Amino acid sequence: MAKASKKYSSEFNAAARRAAQMLLLKPTMWRLLKVHVHGQANVSELEGACVVFANHSSHLDTPLIYGALPPRISKFLAAGAAQDYFYDKWWKAGPMTLFFNGYPIDRGRDDGKKRKRQVRGLSGALLDDGIPLLVFPEGTRSRTGAMGPFKHGVASLCISRNVPAVPVALIGAHAAMPSSKGGLPKGRPTVHVVIGRPMLPRPGEIAHEFSERMRRQVLELHDTTARAYGAKTLDEYARAVALEAAQRRQTENHADKQEDR
């Protein structure tokens, strides 16, 4: 793993990545969106390995986080990306490497193909080498805007390596570019990136407990900011999903009763 980790800490790669981010990626994102960044002071003293985590609702999420974080954190920040989605084609893997120091995460999905990379343990190896990570604990983008349950792997990493977890809440990214619609955002919609205080596992805290505390922190950061700026909260997205499911069940029950007559 040491050899695999070396390219993620390369000064040459970091310089090229920084140039690509500042000359192309960030100007494009900030031109397409009205971006408001909150909480940079919360990570003013953060050094070394950590795990940045956030709610995941759009392909905008990763570039927004890189653009919002201080350069000393984003310089070597390695973004975990689904191996089965981003690393099955070179034209998807290339931008992940160029812009985000990306590395593959095995989501355990059997795509029927022989795996070309051994990725298990890579997250831990990168942290051991002092490289900060960006991981979305939901494992995939939300299709509804509501935040899904967190997988416990991120919390386990923080506990086993004793590194802080940095919460980030993204407000408005789903509305700006939902998975159901293709193309880039139009009309410069407003998004907010809220960086919270680093969180450390408590003594004796196990993975699912820390994971739930992490999830609640993102929820609080998101909804507090959303209410302050008149944006839709995660609670509102969740209620809309529940209402839609209830209406669908009611319609299905009504149809069943009609068939029984």
- Rounded CA-CA distance 50/161 in Å is 9
Closest CA to 55 of 207, 181, 253, 232: 232
Tell me, what's the pLDDT at 16? Answer: 95
- The CATH class given to the 2-232 domain equals alpha beta
pLDDT at 228: 98
For the entire predicted model, the pTM comes to 0.90
pLDDT of residue 3: 55
Q: What percent of the chain has pLDDT over 70?
A: 91
pLDDT of the residue at 121: 87
Averaged pLDDT of the chain:
90
- Cα dihedral sign, 204-209-213-215: positive
pLDDT digits (tens, 9 = 90+) for 119-170: 778 999 999 999 999 999 999 999 999 999 999 999 999 999 999 999 999 9
Name the E strands within 90-189: 103-105, 133-135, 165-171
Please, what is the Cα angle at 176 between 76 and 183, to 5 degrees?
90
